[in-house]
Amino acid sequence: MNAAFPLVPWPTAVEPRDGELAFPAAHVVSPEPLRWTLLAAELLTPLGVSVTGGGPEALAEGAPAPDGVVVELRLEDSADRSAGGEAYVLDVRDDGITVTAPEPAGLLHGLRTLRQLVTPRATVPTVVVRDAPRYPWRGLTLDIARHWFGPAVLRRVVDLAGSYKLRVLHLHLTDDQGWRLEIPSRPGLTERSGRTQVGGEVPPGERGWLTVEEYRELQDYAAARFVEVVPEVDLPGHTNAATHAYGELRPDGLPTPLYGGIEVGFSQLWADNPATEPFVRDVLGDVAAMTAGRYVHVGGDEALTLEAGEYARLVGLALDAVRAAGKTPAAWQEAATAAVEPGTVLQFWDPRADAAPLLRAAAAGARFIMSPASHAYCDMKYDADHPIGQDWMGLVELRDAYGWEPSTALPGLPPEAVEGVAAALWTETIVTTDHLFSMLLPRLPALAEVAWTPPSGRDWASFRARVAEHARTWDAEGWAYHPTRQVAWP
């Protein structure tokens, strides 16, 4: 690693050309000038690079030289189509910059890499970067149920995740403390459980949940940045917000009281209650209908009051409801004990649990997202003195977030069963936007590199030097970060 290339995640190949290009201004040439000029401006203007753009006519013989370095974005059929079209080549020469990719997602990855090369002196080193990701599912799981974070914060989270080339924002939308997405068939969910959160109510002036319209807008915003939103409705445990809103879900028909604490595992649905199946099918059907992406996550974690058979029936119902609504189901690892069909996505989080059901599910064709709490949980404290966060899985310093291997994190799992890696941020103790960002930074970049770069390209000494350079961008974006002592910040 050369200090001139503070790239995270580290690319497949970096071929320096030993020059430097002044880069105070960029002129983006692309087939869709409006779209790409805006995206490039979003990435580059916080770093002081001014951006204009236009169509390919700027490159024609005799055309007036544009103001600024030409950044040409080129979709090329001949380019590397492996890695789901996410591959790209970034070529920085003395006389201009080219990004080539088979699909638009690769073009944006190339622009994100370019942004990481901009120095404080508004120059970029000349270089060729060739790159493609290891895993397709590179995600962030974010809990907005324990504490509510609204559309404006969620857009900034999309920006952050996108800047490290993540493709999935998985939103944990429901839990004991609150319900965060309007459900047309069950309006009481948000009417009665939408404003509550850990410790009481969402701040005055905040609604506390996403309307159907806001959810659509958020997905559109994310999709424009090639991030897919995966909604999670957690059941059959973590359901107190539902049983508070609809008492009919309980055997006694009485709504449960609101819950503002941070215990887990006490709430449930009942398989034999006649209200349960229509509720599960209506809610998951509505969520599937509102969701543009391919997946709906049904939770399934920590249903500690349910005996195994009833648990498996309820999770089986949820998985079936998602498939019936035309989506691919995802669930937490506990769901492996229910009937899992090929392609079902299981999210591994608890390394202490019995691996046998997970290995059986893998043999039955389940795909795995690796989020081991000991490495990927960004709600764990960085160190014992950290003022926020939990420590039930121990401490997760930056080096812990970086130093693990997804293909061996669950012993016995065939490496081909791994679909990707997700960081997770649970928000029991996360109240402010600065809390949220400082738990993700700098750990999210570490996890993004674990998801993108194969082991041969990963190196702790190199990573800690590269990530240090990113603090300038985080400051420019207003993203709070934790200045861990494991990094020599500039």
Is 469 among the residues that bind ligand TNX (CB under 6 A)?
no
Is 332 among the residues that bind ligand TNX (CB under 6 A)?
yes
- Closest contact distance (angstroms) between CB of 237 and ligand TNX is 9
R_g of the chain, CA atoms, integer Å: 23
Is 301 among the residues that bind ligand TNX (CB under 6 A)?
yes
Binding map of ligand TNX across residues 215-254, x = CB under 6 A, - = no contact: ----------------------------------------
- Closest contact distance (angstroms) between CB of 332 and ligand TNX is 4
Element (H, E) at 28: strand 25-29
- Closest contact distance (angstroms) between CB of 206 and ligand TNX is 21
Is 179 among the residues that bind ligand TNX (CB under 6 A)?
no
Q: How far, CA to CA in Å, does 363 sit from each of 126, 311, 358, 359?
A: 47, 21, 9, 6
Whichever of 232 and 469 has its CB closer to ligand TNX, that residue is: 232
- Closest contact distance (angstroms) between CB of 333 and ligand TNX is 8
Distance CA 378, CA 416 (A): 26
DSSP string, 198-240: TTEEPPTT--SSB-HHHHHHHHHHHHHTT-EEEEE---SSS-H
Whichever of 394 and 414 has its CB closer to ligand TNX, that residue is: 394
Q: Which two tokens stand for residue 370?
A: 């690796």
- Closest contact distance (angstroms) between CB of 152 and ligand TNX is 23
Whichever of 87 and 422 has its CB closer to ligand TNX, that residue is: 422
Enumerate residues 6+ apart whose C-beta is below 8 A from 461: none
Cβ distance 89 to 99 under 8 Å? yes
Looking at 302, 310, 341, 383, which residue binds ligand TNX (CB under 6 A)?
302
What secondary structure letter does DSSP report for 252? Answer: T
Is 390 among the residues that bind ligand TNX (CB under 6 A)?
yes
Distance CA 246, CA 386 (A): 39
* 35 residue type, one letter: R
Is 459 among the residues that bind ligand TNX (CB under 6 A)?
no
CA atoms within 13 A on the CB side of 274: 0
Whichever of 113 and 371 has its CB closer to ligand TNX, that residue is: 371
- Known catalytic membership, residue 302: yes
285-316 exposure pattern, b = at least 16 Cβ within 10 A, e = fewer: bbbbebbebebbbbbbbbbeebeeebbbbbbb
Which strand ranges, in their side-by-side order, compose the sheet holding 69-75? 13-22, 123-131, 88-93, 96-101, 69-75, 25-29, 50-54
Enumerate residues 6+ apart whose C-beta is below 8 A from 276: 249, 269, 270, 314, 317
Q: Say if residue 255 is preceded by a cis peptide, omega within 30 of 0.
A: no
Whichever of 100 and 429 has its CB closer to ligand TNX, that residue is: 429
Mutual orientation of helices 212-224 and 276-290 as an angle, nearest 10°? 40
Looking at 179, 349, 368, 463, which residue binds ligand TNX (CB under 6 A)?
349
| Cα angle: 184, vertex 190, 191; to 5 degrees | 100
Catalytic residue among 20, 302, 341, 477: 302
Cβ distance 335 to 315 under 8 Å? yes
- Closest contact distance (angstroms) between CB of 262 and ligand TNX is 8
Whichever of 39 and 422 has its CB closer to ligand TNX, that residue is: 422
Whichever of 40 and 413 has its CB closer to ligand TNX, that residue is: 413
Please count the residues of this chain forming the interface with ligand TNX, following the rule CB under 6 A: 10
Is 400 among the residues that bind ligand TNX (CB under 6 A)?
no
Enumerate residues 6+ apart whose C-beta is below 8 A from 51: 25, 26, 27, 28, 37, 40, 41, 44, 45, 68
Is 86 among the residues that bind ligand TNX (CB under 6 A)?
no
- Closest contact distance (angstroms) between CB of 265 and ligand TNX is 8
Looking at 5, 137, 426, 437, which residue binds ligand TNX (CB under 6 A)?
426
- Closest contact distance (angstroms) between CB of 403 and ligand TNX is 20
Is 379 among the residues that bind ligand TNX (CB under 6 A)?
yes
Whichever of 394 and 415 has its CB closer to ligand TNX, that residue is: 394
- Closest contact distance (angstroms) between CB of 347 and ligand TNX is 7
Whichever of 390 and 407 has its CB closer to ligand TNX, that residue is: 390
Is 264 among the residues that bind ligand TNX (CB under 6 A)?
yes
Distance CA 197, CA 177 (A): 5
Binding site for ligand TNX (CB under 6 A): 264, 301-302, 332, 349, 377, 379, 390, 426, 428
Catalytic residues: 302
